Amino acid sequence: MSLAASQSALPGAAFLVTGAARGIGAAIARQLAASGARVVATDHPSNAAGIDALVKEHGDIVAAPLGDVIEEDTRRAILRGAEEAAGPAGLRGLVNNAGVGVFSPVLGGSEPDEVRRCFAVNTAAPLRLAQLFAETRVSRQAQGSIVNVSSQASSICFPNHTAYSVSKAALDQVTRHLAVELGPRGIRTNAVLPTVVLTEMGRTAWPDGAPHTAAMLSKIPLGRFAQPTDIASVVAFLLDDARSGMVNGALLPVDGGFLCYG
Protein backbone atom coordinates (compact mmCIF):
# COMPACT_ATOMS: atom_id res chain seq x y z
CA MET A 1 0.00 0.00 0.00
CA SER A 2 1.33 3.44 -0.94
CA LEU A 3 1.79 6.23 1.61
CA ALA A 4 -1.08 8.11 -0.06
CA ALA A 5 -3.39 5.12 0.24
CA SER A 6 -2.44 4.54 3.88
CA GLN A 7 -3.53 8.09 4.70
CA SER A 8 -6.91 7.72 2.98
CA ALA A 9 -10.19 6.36 4.29
CA LEU A 10 -11.43 5.55 0.78
CA PRO A 11 -9.98 2.04 0.25
CA GLY A 12 -12.61 -0.55 1.05
CA ALA A 13 -15.38 2.01 1.60
CA ALA A 14 -18.50 1.98 -0.58
CA PHE A 15 -20.09 4.99 -2.27
CA LEU A 16 -23.23 5.51 -4.33
CA VAL A 17 -22.84 7.85 -7.32
CA THR A 18 -25.93 9.04 -9.19
CA GLY A 19 -25.73 10.23 -12.79
CA ALA A 20 -22.67 8.03 -13.16
CA ALA A 21 -23.02 6.93 -16.78
CA ARG A 22 -21.00 9.74 -18.33
CA GLY A 23 -19.28 13.08 -17.82
CA ILE A 24 -18.62 14.21 -14.27
CA GLY A 25 -20.40 11.22 -12.73
CA ALA A 26 -18.33 8.68 -14.65
CA ALA A 27 -15.14 10.54 -13.72
CA ILE A 28 -16.14 10.45 -10.04
CA ALA A 29 -16.85 6.73 -10.22
CA ARG A 30 -13.47 6.07 -11.85
CA GLN A 31 -11.62 8.28 -9.37
CA LEU A 32 -13.15 6.53 -6.37
CA ALA A 33 -12.54 3.07 -7.81
CA ALA A 34 -8.92 3.98 -8.58
CA SER A 35 -8.60 5.05 -4.94
CA GLY A 36 -9.60 1.59 -3.76
CA ALA A 37 -13.24 2.30 -3.01
CA ARG A 38 -16.22 0.21 -4.07
CA VAL A 39 -18.53 2.27 -6.27
CA VAL A 40 -22.22 1.63 -6.76
CA ALA A 41 -23.28 3.48 -9.90
CA THR A 42 -26.74 4.46 -11.09
CA ASP A 43 -28.32 6.62 -13.76
CA HIS A 44 -31.47 7.04 -15.80
CA PRO A 45 -32.40 3.88 -17.77
CA SER A 46 -31.73 5.75 -21.01
CA ASN A 47 -28.05 5.81 -19.99
CA ALA A 48 -27.80 2.11 -19.17
CA ALA A 49 -25.04 1.56 -21.74
CA GLY A 50 -22.77 3.97 -19.89
CA ILE A 51 -23.26 2.16 -16.61
CA ASP A 52 -22.61 -1.19 -18.30
CA ALA A 53 -19.37 0.17 -19.74
CA LEU A 54 -18.20 1.42 -16.32
CA VAL A 55 -18.92 -1.92 -14.69
CA LYS A 56 -17.00 -3.79 -17.40
CA GLU A 57 -14.12 -1.32 -17.16
CA HIS A 58 -13.46 -1.59 -13.44
CA GLY A 59 -13.99 -4.50 -11.07
CA ASP A 60 -14.74 -2.19 -8.14
CA ILE A 61 -17.70 -0.54 -9.88
CA VAL A 62 -21.07 -2.27 -9.66
CA ALA A 63 -24.50 -1.20 -10.85
CA ALA A 64 -27.38 -0.14 -8.63
CA PRO A 65 -30.94 -0.29 -9.94
CA LEU A 66 -31.45 2.27 -12.69
CA GLY A 67 -34.31 4.74 -12.67
CA ASP A 68 -35.57 8.31 -12.62
CA VAL A 69 -34.55 9.89 -9.31
CA ILE A 70 -37.68 12.05 -9.18
CA GLU A 71 -39.73 8.92 -8.37
CA GLU A 72 -39.91 7.91 -4.70
CA ASP A 73 -40.18 4.19 -5.42
CA THR A 74 -37.12 4.46 -7.65
CA ARG A 75 -35.12 6.33 -5.02
CA ARG A 76 -35.90 3.69 -2.41
CA ALA A 77 -35.01 0.90 -4.84
CA ILE A 78 -31.70 2.56 -5.68
CA LEU A 79 -30.76 2.93 -2.01
CA ARG A 80 -31.80 -0.64 -1.18
CA GLY A 81 -29.85 -2.04 -4.10
CA ALA A 82 -26.83 0.11 -3.32
CA GLU A 83 -26.79 -0.96 0.33
CA GLU A 84 -26.91 -4.60 -0.71
CA ALA A 85 -24.10 -4.11 -3.22
CA ALA A 86 -22.01 -2.22 -0.67
CA GLY A 87 -21.53 -5.23 1.56
CA PRO A 88 -21.78 -5.69 5.34
CA ALA A 89 -20.54 -2.20 6.26
CA GLY A 90 -23.07 -0.52 3.98
CA LEU A 91 -22.62 2.67 2.02
CA ARG A 92 -20.08 5.09 3.44
CA GLY A 93 -21.07 7.98 1.21
CA LEU A 94 -23.44 9.41 -1.38
CA VAL A 95 -22.64 11.59 -4.39
CA ASN A 96 -25.69 13.43 -5.71
CA ASN A 97 -24.46 14.09 -9.23
CA ALA A 98 -27.60 13.49 -11.32
CA GLY A 99 -28.90 16.75 -12.75
CA VAL A 100 -30.67 18.38 -15.66
CA GLY A 101 -30.24 21.72 -17.37
CA VAL A 102 -33.02 24.08 -18.40
CA PHE A 103 -31.67 27.08 -20.29
CA SER A 104 -34.17 29.57 -21.67
CA PRO A 105 -35.24 33.19 -21.18
CA VAL A 106 -37.72 34.23 -18.52
CA LEU A 107 -40.08 35.67 -21.13
CA GLY A 108 -41.33 33.14 -23.64
CA GLY A 109 -38.99 30.53 -22.25
CA SER A 110 -39.25 27.36 -20.24
CA GLU A 111 -42.49 25.45 -20.05
CA PRO A 112 -43.84 24.83 -16.52
CA ASP A 113 -43.21 21.09 -16.78
CA GLU A 114 -39.55 21.73 -17.65
CA VAL A 115 -39.12 23.98 -14.64
CA ARG A 116 -40.80 21.49 -12.32
CA ARG A 117 -38.54 18.70 -13.55
CA CYS A 118 -35.47 20.91 -13.13
CA PHE A 119 -36.26 21.42 -9.44
CA ALA A 120 -37.35 17.82 -8.96
CA VAL A 121 -34.05 16.44 -10.26
CA ASN A 122 -31.61 19.13 -9.12
CA THR A 123 -33.01 19.91 -5.67
CA ALA A 124 -35.74 17.61 -4.36
CA ALA A 125 -34.13 14.32 -5.42
CA PRO A 126 -30.75 15.03 -3.78
CA LEU A 127 -32.51 16.03 -0.57
CA ARG A 128 -34.59 12.86 -0.49
CA LEU A 129 -31.68 10.58 -1.38
CA ALA A 130 -29.66 12.23 1.39
CA GLN A 131 -32.48 11.58 3.84
CA LEU A 132 -32.69 7.91 2.89
CA PHE A 133 -28.91 7.50 3.05
CA ALA A 134 -28.70 9.27 6.42
CA GLU A 135 -31.48 7.17 7.92
CA THR A 136 -29.49 4.03 7.18
CA ARG A 137 -26.23 5.45 8.55
CA VAL A 138 -27.92 6.61 11.73
CA SER A 139 -29.57 3.21 12.19
CA ARG A 140 -26.09 1.67 11.96
CA GLN A 141 -24.67 4.32 14.32
CA ALA A 142 -22.10 4.94 11.61
CA GLN A 143 -20.50 8.00 10.09
CA GLY A 144 -21.02 9.04 6.49
CA SER A 145 -20.38 11.71 3.88
CA ILE A 146 -22.59 13.35 1.25
CA VAL A 147 -21.34 15.43 -1.67
CA ASN A 148 -23.78 17.36 -3.85
CA VAL A 149 -22.70 18.47 -7.32
CA SER A 150 -23.95 22.03 -7.67
CA SER A 151 -22.68 24.73 -10.05
CA GLN A 152 -21.03 28.14 -10.13
CA ALA A 153 -24.39 29.21 -11.58
CA SER A 154 -25.85 28.86 -8.08
CA SER A 155 -23.88 31.93 -7.04
CA ILE A 156 -24.03 34.27 -10.02
CA CYS A 157 -26.49 35.20 -12.76
CA PHE A 158 -26.16 34.01 -16.35
CA PRO A 159 -28.57 34.81 -19.18
CA ASN A 160 -31.22 32.12 -19.76
CA HIS A 161 -30.22 30.23 -16.59
CA THR A 162 -33.01 31.23 -14.20
CA ALA A 163 -34.55 27.83 -13.47
CA TYR A 164 -31.21 26.02 -13.48
CA SER A 165 -29.43 28.60 -11.33
CA VAL A 166 -32.20 28.77 -8.75
CA SER A 167 -32.43 24.98 -8.53
CA LYS A 168 -28.70 24.82 -7.82
CA ALA A 169 -28.86 27.70 -5.34
CA ALA A 170 -31.54 25.74 -3.52
CA LEU A 171 -29.25 22.69 -3.58
CA ASP A 172 -26.56 24.78 -1.90
CA GLN A 173 -28.98 25.56 0.91
CA VAL A 174 -29.95 21.90 1.13
CA THR A 175 -26.24 21.18 1.58
CA ARG A 176 -25.87 23.67 4.41
CA HIS A 177 -29.00 22.52 6.22
CA LEU A 178 -27.99 18.88 5.94
CA ALA A 179 -24.57 19.79 7.33
CA VAL A 180 -26.18 21.38 10.38
CA GLU A 181 -28.77 18.67 11.02
CA LEU A 182 -26.72 15.59 10.17
CA GLY A 183 -23.35 16.78 11.46
CA PRO A 184 -24.17 15.86 15.07
CA ARG A 185 -24.89 12.32 13.80
CA GLY A 186 -21.44 12.06 12.23
CA ILE A 187 -22.57 12.68 8.66
CA ARG A 188 -20.79 15.44 6.75
CA THR A 189 -22.40 17.21 3.78
CA ASN A 190 -20.59 19.40 1.27
CA ALA A 191 -21.04 20.60 -2.31
CA VAL A 192 -18.80 21.31 -5.27
CA LEU A 193 -19.56 24.23 -7.59
CA PRO A 194 -17.93 23.53 -10.97
CA THR A 195 -17.36 26.00 -13.76
CA VAL A 196 -17.87 24.86 -17.36
CA VAL A 197 -16.72 21.25 -17.54
CA LEU A 198 -15.45 19.80 -20.80
CA THR A 199 -17.73 16.82 -20.98
CA GLU A 200 -19.20 15.90 -24.36
CA MET A 201 -22.06 18.29 -23.64
CA GLY A 202 -19.71 20.99 -22.40
CA ARG A 203 -17.56 20.86 -25.53
CA THR A 204 -20.66 21.20 -27.68
CA ALA A 205 -21.97 24.19 -25.73
CA TRP A 206 -18.57 25.90 -25.45
CA PRO A 207 -16.66 25.16 -28.69
CA ASP A 208 -13.13 26.38 -29.23
CA GLY A 209 -12.97 29.75 -30.95
CA ALA A 210 -16.57 30.78 -30.29
CA PRO A 211 -16.97 34.37 -29.03
CA HIS A 212 -18.95 33.30 -25.96
CA THR A 213 -16.27 30.72 -25.14
CA ALA A 214 -13.54 33.35 -25.28
CA ALA A 215 -15.61 35.71 -23.15
CA MET A 216 -16.15 33.05 -20.50
CA LEU A 217 -12.51 32.00 -20.44
CA SER A 218 -11.46 35.62 -19.97
CA LYS A 219 -13.25 35.57 -16.61
CA ILE A 220 -11.45 32.47 -15.32
CA PRO A 221 -8.08 33.45 -13.83
CA LEU A 222 -6.57 30.04 -14.59
CA GLY A 223 -7.54 30.52 -18.23
CA ARG A 224 -9.18 27.17 -18.89
CA PHE A 225 -12.37 25.20 -18.35
CA ALA A 226 -12.46 22.22 -16.02
CA GLN A 227 -11.97 18.61 -16.96
CA PRO A 228 -14.27 16.00 -15.38
CA THR A 229 -11.26 14.70 -13.47
CA ASP A 230 -10.81 18.12 -11.83
CA ILE A 231 -14.24 17.77 -10.27
CA ALA A 232 -13.79 14.09 -9.43
CA SER A 233 -10.61 14.65 -7.44
CA VAL A 234 -12.29 17.28 -5.26
CA VAL A 235 -15.32 15.05 -4.69
CA ALA A 236 -13.02 12.21 -3.64
CA PHE A 237 -11.27 14.53 -1.20
CA LEU A 238 -14.57 15.61 0.35
CA LEU A 239 -15.70 11.99 0.75
CA ASP A 240 -12.46 10.99 2.46
CA ASP A 241 -12.88 11.24 6.24
CA ALA A 242 -9.14 10.95 6.76
CA ARG A 243 -8.44 14.01 4.62
CA SER A 244 -11.51 16.21 5.02
CA GLY A 245 -13.00 15.05 8.30
CA MET A 246 -13.48 18.61 9.57
CA VAL A 247 -15.03 19.93 6.34
CA ASN A 248 -18.80 20.19 6.68
CA GLY A 249 -21.24 22.57 4.99
CA ALA A 250 -18.66 23.80 2.47
CA LEU A 251 -19.73 25.09 -0.94
CA LEU A 252 -16.45 24.58 -2.75
CA PRO A 253 -15.96 26.29 -6.12
CA VAL A 254 -13.99 24.27 -8.67
CA ASP A 255 -13.93 27.13 -11.12
CA GLY A 256 -10.38 28.32 -11.63
CA GLY A 257 -11.21 31.50 -9.72
CA PHE A 258 -14.27 32.55 -11.73
CA LEU A 259 -16.36 33.44 -8.68
CA CYS A 260 -13.65 35.77 -7.40
CA TYR A 261 -15.07 38.28 -9.88
CA GLY A 262 -18.61 37.75 -8.58
pLDDT recorded at residue 113: 85
pLDDT exceeds cutoff 90 at 255:
yes
Residues in a beta bridge with 262: none
Residue % of the chain over a pLDDT of 90: 83
Integer Cα distance of 143 and 73 in angstroms: 25
Instruction: Tell me which of 129-138, 154-163, 172-181 is least confident.
Output: 154-163
Dihedrals φ, ψ of 102, to 5°? -125, 115
Mean local confidence (pLDDT), 208-232: 95
pLDDT exceeds cutoff 90 at 2:
no
pLDDT exceeds cutoff 70 at 34:
yes
pLDDT recorded at residue 6: 55
Give 60-105 pLDDT, tens digit per residue: 999 999 999 999 999 999 999 999 999 999 999 999 999 988 777 7
Instruction: Tell me which of 79-93, 156-170, 218-232 is least confident.
Output: 156-170
> Average model confidence (pLDDT) for the chain?
94
Model confidence band, residue 107 (pLDDT cutoffs 50, 70, 90): confident
pLDDT recorded at residue 161: 77
Burial class (CB in 10 A: 0-12, 13-18, 19+), 147: buried
Q: Where are the alpha helices (DSSP H) in the chain?
A: 3-6, 23-34, 48-57, 72-86, 112-119, 125-139, 162-182, 200-205, 211-217, 228-239, 241-244
Active site residue 164: yes
Where exactly are the structural domains of the chain? Answer: 3-251
Sign of the Cα pseudo-torsion (91, 171, 78, 100, in order): negative
Model confidence band, residue 1 (pLDDT cutoffs 50, 70, 90): very low
Q: Pick 3-251's CATH classification: 3.40.50.620, 3.20.20.70, 3.40.50.720, 3.10.620.30.
A: 3.40.50.720
Catalytic-labelled residue, pool 15, 103, 164, 225? 164
pLDDT exceeds cutoff 70 at 8:
yes
Sign of the Cα pseudo-torsion (175, 178, 183, 189, in order): negative
pLDDT recorded at residue 125: 98
Selection from 124, 63, 72 nearest residue 99 by Cα: 124
Integer Cα distance of 191 and 155 in angstroms: 13
Model confidence band, residue 204 (pLDDT cutoffs 50, 70, 90): confident
pLDDT recorded at residue 143: 97
pLDDT exceeds cutoff 90 at 35:
yes
Selection from 60, 52, 55, 16 nearest residue 35 by Cα: 60
